[in-house]
Structure 1
Amino acid sequence: MDNLKEIVDLLPEDSCRELKVFIKRQKNKAERKDLDLFNLMREENFVKPKEYIERLYSTPNANAYHALRKRLFKHIISFLFLKRIEEDNTSASMVMGMLSLSRYLFNEEKLRLAWHYLEKSEELAIQNEQYDLLSNIYNLQVEYSDSEYAPALSKILGNRKRYQQLADMEERAALASSLIKQRLKEVRLKSKQLDFDKIISDTLDQFELKESLYQQPKYLYNILAITRSAMLAKKDFYSFEPYIIKHYEQLTRKRVFNRANHFYKLSILYMLCHVLYRNRKFMQALEYLTLFKKGTYEFNRVYLRKFHVRYIMLLAAVKSYLGHSNESITLLEKLLNEKISLEEEDRLKILLNLGLYYFQQGDLRNANHVSIRFGHTDNWCAKKMGREWLMKKNLMELIIQYELGNADIVHTRLATFNKNFRDLYDNPIYNRVQRYTKFIRTLIDDPNCLSDKAFMQETTSILTQVPEEQEDLQAMTFYSWLKAKFQKRNFYVVLLETVR
């Protein structure tokens, strides 16, 4: 595929609008063929350069086209760099900016001013634990240490050595994280029981990092994020819960959280809230969500925007399983209508959850309407969201169409569903999905099967093979719909009884 087009296709709509304004910043150009090329790449699915050249030039000019591509590529790099700086909450961009300013001032022989901003960049880098940047700062300080405005060289070298050790520890932590990720993946592929503590403890010993784990929340966050990925892949939320709670409480007792590592505190708290929700400990999840929300308002709300969407989505999910899906609908509809720039991935997650909450309320019209609001093909969604997400979306749509009485549509979609996801059925995690779709087909072909006790027992035994206390919440939700059909009761009532 064309590399430039692939990059262009990755840009969300709001970024595309901003990029067009950015490209137009040079007022001296009446024609903007670089912008024309960008629009073509967004709108058309051309494969060969010749197709672009024919649309852009009255007389074909391959050299001009390649120069145009380079110019557009440069615009995109500059735009993304500036956007990254604008969205950077870690102060790294400010440190780099002041460091660049210092270099410029040294070149202009403005030594007093150069040292002023160089020391400011050092202070900010230390405050925000930007140890990799401190190395560059001290190298520049050594280079201009003969200046009358410079501190003693011995002091510079002492600071350089101290923070070099911390930078080295950070590097070892990154290596340890990568190794833990690999080891967890190997265990998962062999379908063995995950022993989080042993795998992580052995790796930390190997890199001499055990003590530093509770001095630097960033290291622990990286390890927890990797462990959580392994847990999500295996749906092993129950092993992860005590592990993350233990480490969060230890960090809290040691009082290591501060402004510099506040992002990591909030990230760990969010993971904790999510695992409690998935383990059906809804009231406990609400308690930690209150702490999480309070944390987003600290330090001048610096992380409020970053975590706001995740907070609302998780709060709505918890409330839906506490019997308040009407509140969940209000929360998500309000979120979709807020004047904030939603990432497309978040918007699609919100819509999928919203469709479920409407279904819980028995509002089939709005539940069905959500499918229209997605606004993308299934192929597009699979690339953007992953096939598991698409599987859940398609399964929910099948059930809605069944409830609407559209048996022909369900028959057609069932065939497509099994064709699209057949390769996933070999994975034990998804094996029950295949059985589930067979039961739906049976319901359509023989509605009287709902009164057949043998059929009900067979369905229950196949779909409830996992111990109840360890059953996945989402699997329980789909099972509860069938259970409600057998019992001829309201789905939402049965769902709430089942998850409790």
Structure 2
Amino acid sequence: MDLIKEISSTFSKKNYRNFIKFFTRKRPGSSRKDVQVFEQLYNHYQSPWYKKIPFKGDPNYHAIRKRITKELVNFLTIENSEVAFQYKNREGMLNLAKYFLEFKKFSESWEILNKEEKACDKGKDYLMNLKIQRLKLEILPYYPDGDFNAIKRKILSLQKQQAHIDEFQLYFIQMKNLFVKKIKSGDLNFSSKEYQKSLSEFDNLKKERNDPQMHLKNIEIIRVEYAIEKNYSDLAIILENYYKELNFDYDNLGFLSIYANIEYIMSYTFLDIRDFKKSKKYLENLHKLMAKEDKIFYTYLGRHTAIDSFIKVFDYQIKEAIDVIQSSILEFKEQLKLRELLNLSLNLSALLLTNQDPKSAIKIINQFNKSDAYYINNMGREWLLRKEMIRTLLLIELKHIDLAEKSLKSIKQKNTDLFSSKQFLMVVPYIKALEKYINEPEETDFIELQKVEKAFNFEKEKVFKDPRLIMFYAWLKGKYTKQETYSVLISEYESLN
């Protein structure tokens, strides 16, 4: 073990300077060469490309290294007793404790371990805490102030806690494999027997078979596995089958937030496949939970509003959908998270456009006046693209054709790399259809729209899995066929069901 490397790698710039001063005072006669060797070694360890160590061939090189190592330990002993020495990670601290142990500095090693034990207790780092207790056992024969019984109790407790974590990880992978198998076989059933059978293999998890948190973890596993396959219809079926096995106790206040999360997941899942009736059912359950606790209310306010407004749009209540978003923003703007506020505002502008109110919609869009980088950082490129597309439609609606053309040009320039991905394949044909409408508005009709759809293999059932995309199409078809956007939207939705 290269102690010089291990110890010096924990040094801050201040520690480094202090050690040089300390080393110089300790060995004034021979300090220059010793200090130079340490500086070269330190630079070498800090920078892999720093190769030059001139003293390496010196006959006294190894003797100098021994002196450096000894003085490093002495320096750390003093530093550790005077200040709370800072290290980059827990492992670094344990290494330091080992160095002290190796040099029979038992008191200093014990002090470091005590500090790290408190940090591990606070961070619930059971595995690292076990390492600390084992090191304490090594020191105990030479350190009379140590408490064997306390260490014994701590080790037994930590072993149990770590075993729980390990078993859950094993259970997690086992359940993941189960659902992967179900996906491959097309099996959409799920019974509590399967869940309980998996749990029965793990002693530390058996008692948690009815724990809502375990159910939430299972639901999250299911979501991830089916999302990977983009099999949202089957996801909805198996989640619903799983949900039927649950027994919620709404009187248990400790689990309300978990129940709320599950209800939200269920509602969003059915929204994703345009089953608004079931989505609404789970959303109403979520709303009941929101009424029980302020924390839950504010946690899900933005998401509840977004889903509720979408459901209302496709339930022939677009004005009510607009009112829902407007009232939420007006009343709870300060409480909404940034992402939720931006999402709701953009959704509101889209609904106003759909409801033939472009002037109100453009006012909202114009409030998004920060840089592209800001929105990409906070919302992502897909959101930014959607914002710019809505802005373009509004400019066309308001007869600002020059600005609309510039906007389309900007969209194409900034997002060329996105358009080749499967998720954005329909953006380019949509832009071309827009350009045709801008350039030849009198020649665009239903026949022309069909030609565009045929040319780009437009499949509504696939494209409209995301309800938001129906709105974009409805606006375009409305322009090509001289109909109101909302009427087209409802007509298209009904044709899909």
> Scaled by the length of structure 2, what TM-score is found?
0.59
The CA deviation at 1:491 is 0.6
**Does residue 338 of structure 1 match 2:331?**
yes
One-letter amino acid matched to 1:383: N
**Does residue 327 of structure 1 match 2:320?**
yes
**Does residue 217 of structure 1 match 2:238?**
no
Which residue of 2 is the match for residue 429 of structure 1?
423
The CA deviation at 1:366 is 0.6
Q: Which digits, 9 at most, give the CA deviation of each residue in 1:244-279, with x for residues without a partner?
A: 2222221238x6994333222111110111121222
The CA deviation at 1:462 is 3.0
Distance 1:388 1:214 in 2: 40
Which residue of 2 is the match for residue 265 of structure 1?
259
Which residue of 2 is the match for residue 169 of structure 1?
164
Which residue of 1 is the match for residue 413 of structure 2?
419
Equivalent residues in 2 for 1:57-456 (5 A)? 165=160, 168-174=163-169, 214-225=209-220, 227-228=222-223, 236-252=231-247, 258-298=252-292, 300-339=293-332, 340-451=334-445, 453-456=447-450
8 Å contact from structure 1 (residues 456, 486) kept in 2: no
Q: 1:451 to 1:469 in 2, by over 3 A?
A: closer
Distance 1:460 1:343 in 2: 42
Q: Secondary structure at the match of 1:464?
A: coil
Max radius of gyration: which structure?
2
The CA deviation at 1:444 is 1.1
8 Å contact from structure 1 (residues 317, 328) kept in 2: yes
Distance 1:461 1:244 in 2: 37
Gap regions ≥5 residues in structure 2: 1-113, 115-122, 134-148
Distance 2:217 2:420 in 1: 31
Q: Which digits, 9 at most, give the CA deviation of each residue in 1:162-196, with x for residues without a partner?
A: x9657633444356658989999x99xxxx98979
> Scaled by the length of structure 1, what TM-score is found?
0.59
The CA deviation at 1:234 is 6.9
Q: 1:257 to 1:244 in 2, by over 3 A?
A: farther
One-letter amino acid matched to 1:317: F
Distance 1:308 1:440 in 2: 35
8 Å contact from structure 1 (residues 356, 367) kept in 2: yes
Distance 1:303 1:452 in 2: 48
The CA deviation at 1:411 is 1.2
Q: 1:461 to 1:256 in 2, by over 3 A?
A: farther
One-letter amino acid matched to 1:249: K
The CA deviation at 1:459 is 2.2
One-letter amino acid matched to 1:251: L
Q: Which digits, 9 at most, give the CA deviation of each residue in 1:324-382, with x for residues without a partner?
A: 12122222222222254222111101111110111122111011111122242222101
Q: 1:303 to 1:399 in 2, by over 3 A?
A: same
Which residue of 1 is the match for residue 480 of structure 2?
486
Distance 1:176 1:301 in 2: 34
Distance 1:390 1:179 in 2: 39
Using the TM superposition, name which of 274-283 and 453-462 deviates more.
453-462
Q: Which digits, 9 at most, give the CA deviation of each residue in 1:87-140, with x for residues without a partner?
A: xxxxxxxxxxxxxxxx9xxxxxxxxxxxxxxxxxxxxxxxxxx9989x99xx99
8 Å contact from structure 1 (residues 382, 390) kept in 2: yes
Which residue of 1 is the match for residue 456 of structure 2?
462
Gap regions ≥5 residues in structure 1: 1-102, 104-129, 141-152
Q: Which digits, 9 at most, give the CA deviation of each residue in 1:38-86, with x for residues without a partner?
A: xxxxxxxxxxxxxxxxxxxxxxxxxxxxxxxxxxxxxxxxxxxxxxxxx
Distance 2:200 2:384 in 1: 40
Q: Which digits, 9 at most, give the CA deviation of each residue in 1:456-492, with x for residues without a partner?
A: 2332563632536973322222122222223221110
Q: Percent identity?
A: 18
Distance 1:378 1:230 in 2: 33
> C-alpha root-mean-square deviation of aligned residues, in Å?
4.6
The CA deviation at 1:240 is 1.9
Greater relative contact order structure (CA < 8 Å, 6+ sep): 1
